[in-house]
Structure 1
């Protein structure tokens, strides 16, 4: 028997994932937890590219929130429409930002559910490729994105030349 087989499996929560306004107390708390977590990884401040709540409220951004059956926010992620010339993406790209799952919900499939929902919505909206940046010290994020088909690409936009930035992309259906 392997260690994984001995470990009890937590039940997967029933989730709802919807686009919501980010300026809600519960979501602000998740964003703060995300910021604290990002800083705990040891990156220099200039290597953290976290969108603040004002940026998340822009019309070019959609914030997806995963909630349990009791309505508690478990995680969130943002989808940002990119301007190819200004943001370094290519036509049809959108960027995934601020993916974060609260500590009590980690390992329950919340991040994967958020990714699947965002990917489906993005494809419906004509987005052909999702791009993202994560840090080289963020092993759990790299594992998650790799498991879901994201592959490394050259750095783009504001991440060009950043020593800790790893950029990833995933073509969506039909690409």
Structure 2
């Protein structure tokens, strides 16, 4: 898929399916964790406990010219639902359609594995993420699981 930025129009986003053992994924998640720590402040510890990557088996890394430019992951929530996790595109690469491409590929992969829904949680300060999920036809739902009753969380669901 060509990226949206006209200066880099001829560059293609490549998608790689992998697992959380992938070094590029670990580096992107480290960058994500740093950003989340700044944005979430003292509430970050609560969220961090639910975002460990060692058990994640389904990871997508987006690259342009073999350089990692974003990631996303998912894990089974129940028998027909995948939970989207660890979506991240570095600030300098945002606005090029990379996150949309990652999310669509995660949804496609979930469908291939016979899941019918995706759910996710994001923080109420993550305005870019909220816009991404809304424009990708995710609907706000009551907070689920560990996020139930957490005012800083917004949960979404999409039927595939």
TM-score category (smaller protein): 0.7 to 0.9
Q: How does 1:1-175 map to 2 (within 5 A)?
A: 9-12=6-9, 13-43=11-41, 44-49=43-48, 51-56=51-56, 61-68=57-64, 70-83=65-78, 91-172=79-160
Decide whether aligned partners of structure 1 residues 124 and 53 sit closer, same or farther in structure 2, where only a CA change above 3 A counts. Answer: closer
Decide whether aligned partners of structure 1 residues 10 and 137 sit closer, same or farther in structure 2, where only a CA change above 3 A counts. Answer: farther
Structure 1 residue ranges (4+ consecutive) displaced by more than 4 angstroms after TM superposition: none
Answer yes or no: is the 8 Å Cα contact 2:142–2:155 preserved in 1: yes
**Take 2:26 and 2:108, find their aligned partners in 1: how far apart are those partners?**
25
- TM superposition shift of 1:48: 1.8
- TM superposition shift of 1:104: 2.7
Residues 106-131 of structure 1, C-alpha deviation per residue, up to 9 Å, x if partnerless? 11111000011111121122111100
- Report the RMSD for the aligned CA atoms in angstroms: 1.8
Answer yes or no: is the 8 Å Cα contact 1:131–1:170 preserved in 2: yes
- TM superposition shift of 1:138: 0.7
For residue 45 of structure 1, give the secondary structure of its aligned residue in structure 2: helix
Structure 1 alignment gaps of length 5 or more: 1-7, 84-90
Answer yes or no: is the 8 Å Cα contact 2:141–2:156 preserved in 1: yes
Q: TM-score, normalised by structure 1?
A: 0.80
Residues 31-87 of structure 1, C-alpha deviation per residue, up to 9 Å, x if partnerless? 11100111111341344245233233xxxx30111111x21111111111113xxxx
Equivalent pairs counted in the alignment come to 153
Answer yes or no: is the 8 Å Cα contact 1:10–1:108 preserved in 2: no
